[in-house]
Structure 1
Amino acid sequence: MTAAGSRQRAVEAVRAIFDRYHLIVAKQNFNGFDKRLMSEAVLLDASLGPPKTGSQPVDSQVPGSSILASATFSLMITPAYSNLNNVMHGGAAGVIFDMLTTSALGPLARPGYWDFLGGVTRTLNISYLRAVPVGTNIHVHSQVYQVGRTMAYIKGWMTSEDGKKVYCTCEHHKVFVPSKKEHLEVHVPWDDQFQDGHVNKSKL
């Protein structure tokens, strides 16, 4: 598969998480904590393996080649994410990182293996480096560094659009649990990729 084809498949895999989420929300008339974020985050890019050179921040202590998958999102910080100081609330950063780093597992998923929203969070450690004013469009970079049968380790960064400002970072440890049967019964086009055997499992 060409690099462009691999990138497109990774983008489709991450987008499928959002497609399924929105269908479930509509079916259940859900109006919970993460609905706004999942409606407003915009997927910019995704990859199976390291992102293209220079496109994302990386941990300087870990070789970039050890990145198993990545995803990049854009999000406008509106008053809904703010505190009384008119900057992004620290708790909002938690839900943003929780959902968007999890979504980076999409290119690695397969039926019964980190499918849909990829299990539950064990720890989410956030370092707040600078305030994010309301009205700022941020980029959220998510990179998977380890994934196994039961555990995954993902890192995330919130940056300015040009990447020159880092607002906060996170380390996200997840534990795999099977997705709810009723969630997987909600069909999205990406499911056909698995059923037809089009996903290259040798890379997963």
Structure 2
Amino acid sequence: MASKSAARSKAMRAIQQGLFDRYDLIAAQRPKDHVDFDRVVMSKLRLVDAALDGFSQYEFTVSEDFSNLNDVMHGGAYGVVFDMATTSALNPLARPGFYFFLGGVTRTLNISYLRGVPIGTKVLLSSKVVQIGKKMAMIKGEMTSLDGKMVYATAEHHKVNAQPNSEHLKFRVPWDDEVEADMKREGVEKKAKVAKL
């Protein structure tokens, strides 16, 4: 069994390489003047923790490009931020055909706005997979102050497992090799277990 630090490191690679690095490779093929909402968010999320059971945590500074006229974070901006942060919690659990890359498609994303986030505030985004099945998954997210004492918003994100765009899968990252090795090892272990029965 892997140590806690090895497991954390593996979960961090699942998210950084499996999601962010692949996304960057794909986005680099877009026209120079094309800006995707999710790319802007992903460029500002700083991964600080992850776990193999479906957990991710980020620090995120709410900049002016996420504001409204009241100089707080715009309600719509929360949607893109939570969408990307909660989706990433699926990456340590993902395999080809199972929530791979962008974790399928969003079915519902429910956000509870509890307190305005002033522009310039650095927040902590924590996401945890609550349920995952062959077709549907549910992830909970929370946006808090860095010390966790103030909760700004919570989210409940339901995802449907769907195949990623086949063009996106042409962009390989080191994480792909690790996933394939794990799947091969799991297949060998499963065959050995069945043979013992």
CA distance in 2 between counterparts of 1:105 and 1:144 reads 7
Is 1:25 the counterpart of 2:27? The answer is yes
Name the SS for the 1:197 alignment partner. Answer: helix
The alignment of Structure 1 onto Structure 2 pairs a total of residues equal to 183
Relative to its length, the structure with more helix (as a share) is 2
- What stretches of structure 1 move > 4 A for 4+ residues in a row? 198-202
Structure 1: gaps of 5 or more residues: 50-68
Query: Given residue 89 of structure 1, which amino acid in structure 2 is its aligned partner?
Result: H
Query: Given residue 16 of structure 2, which amino acid in structure 1 is its aligned partner?
Result: R
Give the TM-score normalised by structure 1.
0.86
**CA offset at residue 198 of structure 1?**
7.0
Give the TM-score normalised by structure 2.
0.89
Is 1:10 the counterpart of 2:11? The answer is yes
CA distance in 2 between counterparts of 1:25 and 1:79 reads 23
Give the 3 Å change call, closer, same or farther, for CA 200–74 of structure 1 in structure 2.
Answer: farther
- CA radius of gyration, larger in: 2
Query: Given residue 37 of structure 1, which amino acid in structure 2 is its aligned partner?
Result: V
Of the three residues 70, 76, 85, the one matched with 2:55 is 70
**CA offset at residue 201 of structure 1?**
5.1
Give the 3 Å change call, closer, same or farther, for CA 111–133 of structure 1 in structure 2.
Answer: same
> 1:38 matched to which residue of 2?
42
Structure 2: gaps of 5 or more residues: 188-197
CA distance in 1 between counterparts of 2:9 and 2:29 reads 28
Give the 3 Å change call, closer, same or farther, for CA 142–200 of structure 1 in structure 2.
Answer: farther
Further displaced range: 143-152 or 191-200: 191-200
Name the SS for the 1:34 alignment partner. Answer: helix
CA RMSD of aligned residues (A): 1.5
Taking the TM superposition and a 5 Å limit, the aligned residue runs for 1:79-118 are 79-118=64-103
Is 1:190 the counterpart of 2:192? The answer is no
Query: Given residue 77 of structure 1, which amino acid in structure 2 is its aligned partner?
Result: V
Give the 3 Å change call, closer, same or farther, for CA 201–129 of structure 1 in structure 2.
Answer: farther
